[in-house]
Structure 1
Amino acid sequence: MTRTALVIGASRTLGLAVATELHRRGWHVIGTVRGERPTALHDLAGDRLEVERLEMTDEQQIHALADRLAGRPRDLLFVNAGIAHADVPVGEVTTESFTQVMITNALGPMRVVEVLGPLVRETGTIAVMSSKQGSLTLNTNGGHEVYRASKSALNQLMRSYAARHASARTLLLLNPGWVRTGLGGPGALLEVGESVPGLLDAVESHAGETGLHFVDHRNQTVPW
């Protein structure tokens, strides 16, 4: 039977690559995009690949998507989101900037997990894109303070979600590595095509395991 995935934030870079690679591996994929403009994901739409619209910072849109997909259980919910503003000390960050990063990187993804998680089969997987910059243990150099804080918040919220939902579902926080994207910058170590297949190998290798796991694109555990 064809496995099914819902990929949130699939219009470009990492999210687009996740949707594309899952489709290449034979999954039936629904990918979401934020706006109404055609995207690279629309170019792939057709056999086993559908496009839905979702702005994950809009709670009403999340519930509307859940209503549209009701009765269509998924094997995988993959949530991809991440923005970063200026790399300055937190004392120099505006309240507006801090709020936007936290909502986009932590609150929005967790609202998606809370609302769309029940659409995942009991034996399925919920995977959320995190970052090693959310690791307290690995923060020895500082920098990117608000981005780090938003990913740490995401990790903590997923820990709380796992504590509240004792089910057979696999829960994953994923670190893609330092990837050459608009967020990672041109000096990053990895191409998208080097990161994403490894991420999905990790997703597949943990399928059927209970509890929450924080791993990277090489399927190595990331310290909290």
Structure 2
Amino acid sequence: MSTTSDRQALVIGASRGLGLVLAEELSRRGRRVIATTRQGGGELQAKADASNGRLRVETLEMTSEEQLATLRERLDGTALDLLFVNAAIDRGNLPITDVSTETFSEVMITNALSPLRALEALRDLVVPGGTVAIMSSRQGSVGLNTRPGFELYKASKAALNQLMRSYSTRYADDGQTKLLIHPGHNQTPLGGPGAPLTAEESMPAVVDVLEAQAGAPGLQFLDLHGNVVPW
């Protein structure tokens, strides 16, 4: 087993919010971290500049298959113990009848299709016994969908969960841990300022779950406390 200082994580979607704090927390715990952003500069780059080489920034528009392929080429030979995809958009609290076809496609491509494309493009960089994980949401739980609102966002996360289930079935024998993580309701642009959690509170708990589940077989849908979220 490698030491913590030998371990390396790739966080897709780390320019702000949960992804930024997740990358910082992984680095703080001793991992080397590669973190992606759609545009250079900003807070992520500032943290990388101050990290003494522990945090490295790569540019990626996750919805672009070409950019995913280019990132895979740049990372050739990299050994990851963790690949974490954190990316989602929300286009408002509209009933599905008021959602345009263009908006529906945009949210589904960003929240469901692109995370799985990222896993497919980069999964071979993950070492045996490593972890592939995606930031999901309890709003993607069909069983917990008992209150109205945010129909498109809920549908996109449910689609993400189903696609991850298919992924885990297809690669059942690859020896990698597979996780969907619900990070709680956070004060982010998506979660809103009235949410009960901050990223600084939730992301250390998420990393605790990642570390506790490392090496576990199969796919699990867990919250930030390690509790099972119903499908």
Fold shared, TM-score > 0.5 on shorter chain = yes
Match of 2:46 in 1: 43
1:143-202 deviations in Å (ceiling 9; x for gaps): 100000000000000000000002210000000011010000011111111111111100
Pick from 21, 24, 33: which aligns with 1:20? 24
* 1:193 lines up with 2:200 in the alignment: yes
Match of 2:176 in 1: 169
Match of 2:123 in 1: 117
Amino acid paired to 2:35: G
Amino acid paired to 1:152: A
Q: SS state of the match for residue 88, structure 1?
A: coil
Match of 1:142 in 2: 148
Amino acid paired to 1:28: R
Match of 2:106 in 1: 100
Amino acid paired to 2:78: R
Q: SS state of the match for residue 31, structure 1?
A: strand
Task: Provide the rounded CA distance (Å) in 1 between the counterparts of 2:133 and 2:210.
Answer: 8
1:34-80 deviations in Å (ceiling 9; x for gaps): 023x1211012242111000000001000110111011110000100
Task: Provide the rounded CA distance (Å) in 2 between the counterparts of 1:189 and 1:219.
Answer: 18
Q: SS state of the match for residue 5, structure 1?
A: strand
1:70-119 deviations in Å (ceiling 9; x for gaps): 11110000100111012011000011111111011011111001111111
Superposed displacement of residue 211, structure 1: 0.5
Task: Provide the rounded CA distance (Å) in 2 between the counterparts of 1:188 and 1:18.
Answer: 18
* TM-score of the aligned structures, taking structure 1 as reference length: 0.98
Match of 2:189 in 1: 182
- Aligned-pair RMSD on alpha carbons? 0.8
Superposed displacement of residue 142, structure 1: 2.3
* TM-score of the aligned structures, taking structure 2 as reference length: 0.95
Amino acid paired to 1:159: R
Aligned residues: 223
Gaps of 5+ in 2: none
Aligned ranges 1:185-224 → 2 under 5 Å: 185-224=192-231
Task: Provide the rounded CA distance (Å) in 1 between the counterparts of 2:177 and 2:42.
Answer: 30
Task: Provide the rounded CA distance (Å) in 2 between the counterparts of 1:12 and 1:208.
Answer: 29
Gaps of 5+ in 1: none
Amino acid paired to 1:221: V
Task: Provide the rounded CA distance (Å) in 2 between the counterparts of 1:160 and 1:30.
Answer: 27
Q: SS state of the match for residue 75, structure 1?
A: strand
Task: Provide the rounded CA distance (Å) in 2 between the counterparts of 1:62 and 1:177.
Answer: 28
